[in-house]
Structure 1
């Protein structure tokens, strides 16, 4: 599923739209999201921003082995988009490190007792 978080823009064809971070996170937890496109400013900061989704994904990858979808940022807020993109880079780094550690463990010689 392609998931589009935004409060104003039209939903691209082939994408499923949500308006709030909690909706996006619920679908990410359920699995099956292959691509995610995030806006930052959603009209009610008390309900969250697109950055909250980035923070959730980063924590889920680091602590629970979550496999993130492809993440795109489409926010028109330049400073927020930059902060979100930095989060995406941190997520990608965590995924690469986890993959490297998994490869090392799979190649390590096994000892028997």
Structure 2
């Protein structure tokens, strides 16, 4: 993974930390991930309109991309206040990390 790239902050309410690119919806985060631009991502779960998706949808997308295409996942964080969703997202991230260590392509971007 390169040291240059975007740090993406997915959230609908919190202030964006300095040095991060804010997105409001999962499809925006996924579009940047698909372009290979993201080196780090921080995810909120509840984004104000579940019909548009949640932070967990991004976790699921990354997991699928790693498993199916050898996608190199960025460094991932969860900043959601939703305790149950946070646990589920963190479990998904742990799964992605295990999968990425077994997927040779995931180490070379």
Q: What is the 5 A alignment of 1:46-85?
A: 46-85=51-90
Choose between structure 1 and 2 for higher RCO, CA contacts under 8 A separated by at least 6 residues. 2
SS at match of 1:75: coil
Flag structure 1 segments of 5+ consecutive residues without an equivalent: 103-113
The TM-score, its normalising length taken from structure 1, stands at 0.86
CA distance in 1, matches of 2:103, 2:49: 35
SS at match of 1:28: helix
Q: Give CA-to-partner distance per residue, 1:33-52, whole Å, 9 cap, x none.
A: 00000000000000000000
Runs of 4+, deviation exceeding 3 Å:
none
Flag structure 2 segments of 5+ consecutive residues without an equivalent: 1-5
Higher Cα radius of gyration = 1
CA distance in 2, matches of 1:63, 1:91: 12
The TM-score, its normalising length taken from structure 2, stands at 0.90
